[in-house]
Homo-oligomer: A and B are copies of this chain.
Amino acid sequence: MSRVVKLAVIPGDGIGPEVVAEAVKVLDAVTAGSGVEFEKTPFSLGAARYLETGDTLTDADLAAIGEHDAILLGAVGGVPGDPRLKDANIERGLLLKLRFELDHYVNLRPSKLYPGAAGPLADPGDIDFVVVREGTEGPYVGNGGSIRRGTPHEVANETSVNTAYGIERVVRYAFSLAGRRRKKLTLVHKTNVLVHAGGMWKRIVDAVASEHPEVDVDYLHVDAATIFLVTNPSRFDVIVTDNLFGDILTDLAGAVTGGIGLAASGNINPDGAFPSMFEPVHGSAPDIAGTQKADPTAAILSVALLLDHLGLTDEAARVTRAVEDDIAGRDATPRSTAQIGDAIVDRVQA
């Protein structure tokens, strides 16, 4: 008897379709003959769809996506400054809407410096940590507004909304992850300035910590955390942080581990009430779209996170190992998006 996994595939804009094509190749290769069948439904969403139809994400889209077991997303977003997209906000209307509506409260972003990957640090040391970024609250909630827009008296507010409910669940996830790793958890916030939100994060981490005596806990202000990410990234194991700080730290972490072309992520609803969504951290890079210059590695590593999430841990490990071996063998010879994908498929099959 074979298990069927219903996978929604959102290739998106720019380089999205190219990297997703390779990710799907790898997914097919690693699950061939495994008894697990991925039934894929493509969804045409993103700037291109918006330009055609004026829709960003309809209720019908959302309902249809919600019927799936998981989602694989490439990248969404049009050419910056495109006047036809002036009134669109693909990021808020599509990507963030999916994360919020599907209650992706864990935004999981591993950062690992693979042997052979070239980062900007002279002496990086071993880098292997995971950022657990809260995905459904904080400054991302969209509770902002302005008055007297466009006048010299304009005032624009943005409210970060934080709940004990929302923080506790992601903090618990982070502790349990740390317990399965090197047992070190770092809370990153800015408690000395954002005293109410930061204070609540701190209190909840302290409370959950008492249930996890095996996990070592420390705290860093977000500004100090960026310093350590470039001077001593080995000090981190699991970082738990809010939506905005997590956004910033994970781009920086991607850069120090060899570039955003390698950084994968999962938008996870651990309760299983909604499908989780896996996507590279990078954007749609419209400037190189269609040129086969994009590195599909981040999308392929997102497939490994997807497999892991589905409990297909052997398959996940095979993908990760294939990527690791591919990276270790890289030299200056340029390869197309498809060539990198094919090379990783070969290693998966070997």
Contact = CB atoms under 8 A, between A and B. Distances in A.
Interface stretch (A13-21, A46-54, A144-152, A208-216): A144-152
A160 B190 CA distance: 14
A155 B160 CA distance: 10
Contact of A251 (B92, B223, B251): B223
Contacts of A287: none
A30 interface: no
Contacts of A203: 150
Contact of A227 (B91, B121, B159, B254): B254
Interface stretch (A192-200, A304-312, A331-339): A192-200
A200 to B, nearest CB: 5
Contact of A192 (B91, B156, B195): B91
Give the oligomeric copy count.
2
Nearest to A219: B80
A230 B248 contact: no
A251 B226 CA distance: 7
Contacts of A145: 196
Contacts of A199: 146, 156
Interface in A175-209: 190, 192-197, 199-200, 203
B255 A192 contact: no
16 contacts: A91-B193, A92-B193, A92-B195, A96-B193, A120-B122, A139-B193, A152-B164, A154-B200, A155-B164, A156-B200, A157-B161, A158-B162, A222-B247, A222-B248, A226-B226, A227-B251
